[in-house]
Amino acid sequence: MHLSISINEQELVKQCLAGEEKGYALLYNKYAKRIYHAVFRVMGNTAESEDIVQEAFCTAFEQLGKLKNQSNFEGWLKRIALNQAISALRKRKMVFTDESQLETVADEEIDISEEFLFQCQIEDIKKAIANLPDGYRTIVSLHLFEDIGQEEIGKMLGISHATVRSQYHRAKKKIFTALKDKAYYGT
Protein backbone atom coordinates (compact mmCIF):
# COMPACT_ATOMS: atom_id res chain seq x y z
CA MET A 1 0.00 0.00 0.00
CA HIS A 2 2.74 2.41 0.95
CA LEU A 3 4.62 1.46 -2.24
CA SER A 4 1.60 2.26 -4.43
CA ILE A 5 1.17 5.65 -2.74
CA SER A 6 4.84 6.46 -3.29
CA ILE A 7 4.60 5.57 -6.96
CA ASN A 8 1.49 7.68 -7.32
CA GLU A 9 3.16 10.57 -5.56
CA GLN A 10 6.16 10.31 -7.85
CA GLU A 11 3.88 10.23 -10.89
CA LEU A 12 2.01 13.28 -9.65
CA VAL A 13 5.27 15.12 -9.07
CA LYS A 14 6.36 14.20 -12.60
CA GLN A 15 3.07 15.51 -13.97
CA CYS A 16 3.61 18.75 -12.09
CA LEU A 17 7.16 19.00 -13.44
CA ALA A 18 5.72 18.53 -16.94
CA GLY A 19 3.48 21.53 -16.23
CA GLU A 20 0.23 19.55 -16.15
CA GLU A 21 -2.46 21.27 -14.07
CA LYS A 22 -3.98 17.90 -13.22
CA GLY A 23 -0.86 16.95 -11.23
CA TYR A 24 -1.10 20.13 -9.16
CA ALA A 25 -4.80 19.52 -8.44
CA LEU A 26 -4.28 15.90 -7.38
CA LEU A 27 -1.38 16.74 -5.07
CA TYR A 28 -3.41 19.55 -3.55
CA ASN A 29 -6.44 17.32 -2.95
CA LYS A 30 -4.22 14.71 -1.40
CA TYR A 31 -2.32 16.87 1.09
CA ALA A 32 -4.09 20.21 1.43
CA LYS A 33 -6.27 19.20 4.41
CA ARG A 34 -3.40 17.87 6.51
CA ILE A 35 -1.17 20.81 5.71
CA TYR A 36 -3.93 23.30 6.42
CA HIS A 37 -4.68 21.80 9.83
CA ALA A 38 -1.00 21.66 10.74
CA VAL A 39 -0.62 25.33 9.91
CA PHE A 40 -3.91 26.26 11.55
CA ARG A 41 -2.86 24.57 14.80
CA VAL A 42 0.32 26.65 14.87
CA MET A 43 -1.26 29.92 13.80
CA GLY A 44 -4.69 29.61 15.46
CA ASN A 45 -6.04 31.92 12.74
CA THR A 46 -8.04 30.91 9.65
CA ALA A 47 -7.18 33.78 7.33
CA GLU A 48 -3.43 33.67 7.98
CA SER A 49 -3.42 29.88 7.79
CA GLU A 50 -5.12 30.01 4.38
CA ASP A 51 -2.55 32.48 3.07
CA ILE A 52 0.34 30.43 4.44
CA VAL A 53 -0.99 27.19 2.92
CA GLN A 54 -1.46 28.83 -0.47
CA GLU A 55 2.03 30.29 -0.31
CA ALA A 56 3.47 26.96 0.79
CA PHE A 57 1.86 25.11 -2.13
CA CYS A 58 3.00 27.77 -4.60
CA THR A 59 6.57 27.60 -3.27
CA ALA A 60 6.55 23.79 -3.34
CA PHE A 61 5.20 23.66 -6.91
CA GLU A 62 7.70 26.26 -8.06
CA GLN A 63 10.67 24.50 -6.47
CA LEU A 64 9.50 20.99 -7.27
CA GLY A 65 12.61 20.45 -9.37
CA LYS A 66 14.74 20.82 -6.23
CA LEU A 67 12.91 17.96 -4.44
CA LYS A 68 15.42 15.11 -4.21
CA ASN A 69 13.14 12.42 -2.74
CA GLN A 70 9.97 12.70 -4.82
CA SER A 71 8.21 10.10 -2.69
CA ASN A 72 8.41 12.41 0.34
CA PHE A 73 6.50 15.32 -1.13
CA GLU A 74 4.18 15.57 1.89
CA GLY A 75 6.99 15.85 4.44
CA TRP A 76 8.77 18.42 2.28
CA LEU A 77 5.58 20.46 1.76
CA LYS A 78 4.69 20.29 5.47
CA ARG A 79 8.13 21.50 6.45
CA ILE A 80 7.84 24.46 4.03
CA ALA A 81 4.41 25.33 5.42
CA LEU A 82 5.46 25.06 9.07
CA ASN A 83 8.58 27.17 8.49
CA GLN A 84 6.44 29.84 6.86
CA ALA A 85 4.01 29.66 9.80
CA ILE A 86 6.83 30.10 12.30
CA SER A 87 8.16 33.03 10.24
CA ALA A 88 4.69 34.55 10.32
CA LEU A 89 4.59 34.14 14.09
CA ARG A 90 7.97 35.85 14.35
CA LYS A 91 6.62 38.68 12.20
CA ARG A 92 3.93 39.09 14.81
CA LYS A 93 6.89 39.84 17.10
CA MET A 94 6.24 36.69 19.04
CA VAL A 95 9.42 35.55 20.80
CA PHE A 96 10.07 31.92 21.60
CA THR A 97 11.69 32.60 24.98
CA ASP A 98 14.61 30.47 26.04
CA GLU A 99 13.85 29.23 29.53
CA SER A 100 16.61 26.67 29.74
CA GLN A 101 17.94 28.30 32.92
CA LEU A 102 14.56 28.12 34.59
CA GLU A 103 13.55 25.18 36.67
CA THR A 104 12.13 22.50 34.45
CA VAL A 105 8.74 21.07 35.22
CA ALA A 106 8.94 17.36 35.94
CA ASP A 107 6.70 14.95 34.06
CA GLU A 108 5.72 13.39 37.35
CA GLU A 109 4.03 16.59 38.42
CA ILE A 110 1.36 16.09 35.74
CA ASP A 111 -1.01 13.38 36.80
CA ILE A 112 -2.72 12.34 33.58
CA SER A 113 -4.26 8.94 33.25
CA GLU A 114 -5.37 7.19 30.08
CA GLU A 115 -8.83 6.79 31.48
CA PHE A 116 -9.17 10.52 32.01
CA LEU A 117 -8.25 11.25 28.38
CA PHE A 118 -10.84 8.78 27.07
CA GLN A 119 -13.45 10.59 29.06
CA CYS A 120 -12.65 13.88 27.30
CA GLN A 121 -14.25 15.12 24.08
CA ILE A 122 -12.04 15.81 21.04
CA GLU A 123 -13.54 19.27 20.70
CA ASP A 124 -12.65 20.05 24.34
CA ILE A 125 -9.03 19.06 23.77
CA LYS A 126 -8.96 21.16 20.58
CA LYS A 127 -10.29 24.16 22.46
CA ALA A 128 -7.81 23.67 25.29
CA ILE A 129 -4.94 23.58 22.82
CA ALA A 130 -6.28 26.58 20.88
CA ASN A 131 -6.49 28.63 24.07
CA LEU A 132 -2.79 28.10 24.81
CA PRO A 133 -0.39 31.01 24.34
CA ASP A 134 1.26 31.11 20.85
CA GLY A 135 4.59 29.67 22.01
CA TYR A 136 3.09 26.78 23.92
CA ARG A 137 0.59 26.05 21.20
CA THR A 138 3.31 25.90 18.57
CA ILE A 139 5.42 23.45 20.56
CA VAL A 140 2.43 21.28 21.45
CA SER A 141 1.21 21.22 17.85
CA LEU A 142 4.62 20.35 16.42
CA HIS A 143 5.33 17.67 19.00
CA LEU A 144 1.92 16.08 19.45
CA PHE A 145 0.41 16.31 15.97
CA GLU A 146 3.42 16.47 13.61
CA ASP A 147 5.49 14.06 15.72
CA ILE A 148 8.58 16.27 15.55
CA GLY A 149 11.17 15.65 18.21
CA GLN A 150 11.76 18.24 20.90
CA GLU A 151 15.35 18.76 19.83
CA GLU A 152 14.33 19.46 16.24
CA ILE A 153 11.58 21.80 17.43
CA GLY A 154 14.24 23.68 19.37
CA LYS A 155 16.26 24.07 16.16
CA MET A 156 13.19 25.19 14.22
CA LEU A 157 12.25 27.80 16.80
CA GLY A 158 15.79 28.79 17.66
CA ILE A 159 15.57 27.77 21.31
CA SER A 160 17.18 25.03 23.41
CA HIS A 161 15.91 21.50 23.78
CA ALA A 162 15.37 22.08 27.52
CA THR A 163 13.18 25.07 26.84
CA VAL A 164 11.08 23.09 24.40
CA ARG A 165 10.74 20.33 26.98
CA SER A 166 9.76 22.61 29.83
CA GLN A 167 7.34 24.60 27.71
CA TYR A 168 5.79 21.41 26.39
CA HIS A 169 5.14 20.15 29.93
CA ARG A 170 3.75 23.50 31.02
CA ALA A 171 1.49 23.52 27.98
CA LYS A 172 0.34 20.01 28.75
CA LYS A 173 -0.37 21.00 32.35
CA LYS A 174 -2.46 23.94 31.15
CA ILE A 175 -4.39 21.67 28.81
CA PHE A 176 -5.16 19.15 31.56
CA THR A 177 -6.10 21.91 33.98
CA ALA A 178 -8.54 23.22 31.40
CA LEU A 179 -9.88 19.75 30.72
CA LYS A 180 -10.26 19.02 34.48
CA ASP A 181 -12.09 22.27 34.99
CA LYS A 182 -14.38 21.37 32.13
CA ALA A 183 -15.01 17.92 33.61
CA TYR A 184 -15.56 19.39 37.11
CA TYR A 185 -18.07 21.99 36.04
CA GLY A 186 -19.58 19.71 33.45
CA THR A 187 -21.69 20.81 30.50
Nearest Cα to 94, choosing from 35, 50, 137, 46? Answer: 137
Instruction: Read off the amino acid at residue 128.
Output: A
Residue 145 touching other proteins (CB under 8 A): yes
Q: Are 143 and 153 in contact (CB under 8 A)?
A: yes
Comparison of 51 and 134: residue with beta carbon closer to other proteins: 51
Tell me how far apart the alpha carbons of residues 157 and 10 are, in angstroms, rounded to a whole number: 31
Tell me how far apart the alpha carbons of residues 180 and 28 are, in angstroms, rounded to a whole number: 39
Comparison of 28 and 76: residue with beta carbon closer to other proteins: 28
Among 67, 94, 144, 183, interactor with other proteins by CB under 8 A: 144
CB of 17 to other proteins, least distance (A): 13
**b/e burial code for range 13-22 (CB count within 10 A of at least 16 → b):** bebbeeeeee
Residue 125 touching other proteins (CB under 8 A): yes
Task: Please give the residues from 54 up to 93 whose contact with other proteins meets the rule CB under 8 A.
Answer: 54-55, 57-58, 61-62
Comparison of 31 and 96: residue with beta carbon closer to other proteins: 31
Comparison of 14 and 158: residue with beta carbon closer to other proteins: 14
DSSP state of 143: I
Task: Please give the residues from 3 up to 32 whose contact with other proteins meets the rule CB under 8 A.
Answer: 21, 24-25, 28-29, 32
CB of 93 to other proteins, least distance (A): 26
**DSSP element (H, E) containing 38:** helix 21-43
Tell me how far apart the alpha carbons of residues 61 and 67 are, in angstroms, rounded to a whole number: 10
Nearest Cα to 6, choosing from 62, 69, 60? Answer: 69
Comparison of 156 and 179: residue with beta carbon closer to other proteins: 179
The footprint of other proteins (CB under 8 A) covers 21, 24-25, 28-29, 32-34, 36-37, 40, 46, 50, 53-55, 57-58, 61-62, 107, 112-114, 117-118, 122, 125-126, 143-145, 147, 172, 175
